[in-house]
Amino acid sequence: MSAATPLHPDHRAAELRAWWMPFTHNRYFKAAPRIIASAKGAYFTLDDGRRLFDCLSGLWCSPLGHSHPRVVEAVQRQVETLDFAPSFQMGHEGAFTLATRIAALAGRPDDRVFFVNSGSEAVDTALKIAVAYHRQRGDAARTRIIGRERGYHGVGMGGISVGGMVANRKMFASLMIPGVDHLPHTYNPAEMRFSKGQPDWGVHLVEELERLVALHDASTIAAVIVEPMQGSTGVLVPPKGYLKRLREICTKHGILLIFDEVITGFGRLGTPFGADYFDVQPDLTTFAKAVNNATVPLGGVIVRDDIHQAFMTGPEHMIEFFHGYTYSAHPLAVAAAHATLDVMQDEKLIARAAELAPVLERALHTLQGEPHVIDIRNLGLAGAVELAPIAGKPGLRAIQAFENALNQGQMVRFSGEILAVAPPFISTVAEVEGMVEGIRRALRALPA
Ligand SMILES: Cc1ncc(COP(=O)(O)O)c(C=O)c1O
């Protein structure tokens, strides 16, 4: 069967068998599959012809909408010119110019960029750089990493170790990297339920870092890694002042601060990076997803110049950092990134995300009082609606809401009891408001 052959309904059971789908209820899905056939702009089309608004920009990764003609053209041109180039001991021009461009967009033009293929790889790369940096400086005891409860940093061994989502960790306890500790998460429904934007309550929770420093001693801690806004765990927004104070404590103790900006990078909060939104600069920034509108896998780490410089020792013919991937800076991914950044710039899409943010906030919070809604949170062009679980059947309520939303032409994301939305930056006001009305109808159609 060629890749383009549509699945015939009679053959589905057999044909759906082999693909073990990621982060999916495989048996439930395959009993009633939802097959995406195509995508254009802010809409997916299923193989049964249904058209769905892409409420989460793919998986937080396609802010331009799908198949933007300039991205398509750039990738087509690239595949004909240079389909692959090794990045070990060789290089291609687009990768150098893209690195320069990303550092400039981050407002850190002297910094360096290490390319990888996913958010998970970006995180593991950043952890390695942090630990190796201290060793390069003769501070080799600094190996400990501090993550945060409910953090999501992908599924590599480093990422699940510093991450704080129990389902992603509990199966793999023996594989965790040693010497990791966690800050508490900042979510307290009693104090912050239905907050709009950053909650007023909770800045004191960052002082837990001082407790961990007192426990482990700063001389053993290499880095702290946090998402500026915790996305995958359901849009947990940092309390006012939290990230600034986190920066102060890290600086005071010589601990590197890593912002995992895989979701917040490239405009989701209406600024180029989350660091700009919160006015707090980390030492290392991981990115992926929206950097090239997810057209071809690409991720990376932005590294402060002096951290990079610490590696530039020893004979010049020697490799300085023994790390990298076959597909680091893949030419197709790089071409897609240049085109994506061109479009973001020419169509002023980051400013557009900032304009749509209050539209989303206003609309989403009108869902307060709808059936089973126990919290609503939002920041930038991202929001979450948390539902009360069905007794004894955790997760089922959100699945039902998700399926009802599909019937309303809305493809939201569900995770646990939470519905998440982060519409494409190209969305119209009517589409954002229509998305929320679709969710409202989906909630009203839930069983009592
Ligand atoms: C903050 C963060 N880090 C890392 C990742 C992992 O990215 P990937 O799925 O590309 O490995 C994600 C994915 O959602 C993420 O949200």
For residue range 371-402, list pLDDT tens digits in order.
999 999 999 999 999 999 999 999 999 999 99
Q: Model confidence at 12, in pLDDT bands (50, 70, 90)?
A: confident
Going from the Cα of 117 to the center of ligand 1, the distance in angstroms, rounded, reads 11
- pLDDT at 94 exceeding the cut of 90: yes
Q: How many domains in the chain?
A: 2
- pLDDT at 1 exceeding the cut of 60: no
Has residue 25 been placed in a domain?
Answer: no
**Which residue type, as a one-letter code, is found at position 394?**
P
Ligand 1 pocket, mutate which of 230, 262, 379 (most atoms under 8 A from CB): 262
Claim to verify: residue 339 and residue 356 sit in the same structural domain = no
User: In this prediction, what percent of the chain has a pLDDT beyond 70?
Assistant: 98
Claim to verify: residue 176 and residue 38 sit in the same structural domain = no
φ, ψ dihedrals at 389, nearest 5°: -70, 155
Q: What is the CATH number of the domain that holds 44?
A: 3.90.1150.10
pLDDT in the model for residue 269? 98
Of all protein residues, the one whose alpha carbon is nearest to atom 8 of ligand 1 is: 119
* Ligand 1 atom with minimal separation from the 151 CA: 1
* Ligand 1 atom with minimal separation from the 119 CA: 7
Asked which of 308, 331, 346 is the last residue of a domain, the reply is 346
Has residue 15 been placed in a domain?
Answer: no
Claim to verify: residue 39 and residue 113 sit in the same structural domain = no
- pLDDT at 2 exceeding the cut of 70: no
Claim to verify: residue 381 and residue 398 sit in the same structural domain = yes
- The Cα 44–Cα 206 span in angstroms is 41
Has residue 22 been placed in a domain?
Answer: no
Claim to verify: residue 96 and residue 169 sit in the same structural domain = yes
User: In this prediction, what percent of the chain has a pLDDT beyond 90?
Assistant: 96
- Angle of helix 208-216 relative to helix 242-252, nearest 10 degrees, comes to 20
- The Cα 99–Cα 337 span in angstroms is 10
**Pocket residues for ligand 1 (CB within 6 Å)?**
118-120, 123, 152-154, 227, 231-232, 260, 262-263, 288
Claim to verify: residue 326 and residue 221 sit in the same structural domain = yes
Claim to verify: residue 96 and residue 42 sit in the same structural domain = no
* Ligand 1 atom with minimal separation from the 261 CA: 1
Has residue 323 been placed in a domain?
Answer: yes
Of all protein residues, the one whose alpha carbon is nearest to atom 13 of ligand 1 is: 154
C-beta separation of 398 from 419 below 8 A? yes
Going from the Cα of 64 to the center of ligand 1, the distance in angstroms, rounded, reads 19
Nearest by Cα to 411 from 60, 61, 53, 58: 53
Has residue 112 been placed in a domain?
Answer: yes
- Average pLDDT of the residues of the chain: 96
Going from the Cα of 74 to the center of ligand 1, the distance in angstroms, rounded, reads 25
Going from the Cα of 391 to the center of ligand 1, the distance in angstroms, rounded, reads 30
Q: What is the CATH number of the domain that holds 224?
A: 3.40.640.10
Q: Tens digits of per-residue pLDDT, 49-84? A: 999 999 999 999 999 999 999 999 999 999 999 999
Has residue 329 been placed in a domain?
Answer: yes
Claim to verify: residue 130 and residue 156 sit in the same structural domain = yes
pLDDT in the model for residue 404? 98
C-beta separation of 155 from 120 below 8 A? yes
Has residue 14 been placed in a domain?
Answer: no
pLDDT in the model for residue 9? 66
Residue 43 belongs to what H/E stretch? strand 43-46
Ligand 1 pocket, mutate which of 153, 226, 291 (most atoms under 8 A from CB): 153
Going from the Cα of 229 to the center of ligand 1, the distance in angstroms, rounded, reads 13
| Three-state secondary-structure class, residue 67 | coil
- pLDDT at 216 exceeding the cut of 90: yes
Claim to verify: residue 327 and residue 400 sit in the same structural domain = no
Asked which of 346, 367, 399 is the last residue of a domain, the reply is 346
Claim to verify: residue 200 and residue 331 sit in the same structural domain = yes
C-beta separation of 123 from 162 below 8 A? yes
Residue 420 belongs to what H/E stretch? strand 418-421
Going from the Cα of 301 to the center of ligand 1, the distance in angstroms, rounded, reads 13
Q: Tens digits of per-residue pLDDT, 144-154? A: 999 999 999 99
| Bridge partners, 38 (sequence order) | 45
pTM summary value? 0.97
- Give the domain extent around 368: 34-67+348-444
Going from the Cα of 196 to the center of ligand 1, the distance in angstroms, rounded, reads 25
pLDDT in the model for residue 104? 98
Has residue 294 been placed in a domain?
Answer: yes
* Ligand 1 atom with minimal separation from the 59 CA: 14
Strands (E), 203-279: 221-226, 256-260
Place of tokens 């549509």: 6
Claim to verify: residue 306 and residue 400 sit in the same structural domain = no
pLDDT in the model for residue 305? 98
Asked which of 295, 328, 346 is the last residue of a domain, the reply is 346
For residues 22-47, average pLDDT: 96
Claim to verify: residue 282 and residue 148 sit in the same structural domain = yes
Going from the Cα of 152 to the center of ligand 1, the distance in angstroms, rounded, reads 7
pLDDT in the model for residue 14? 86
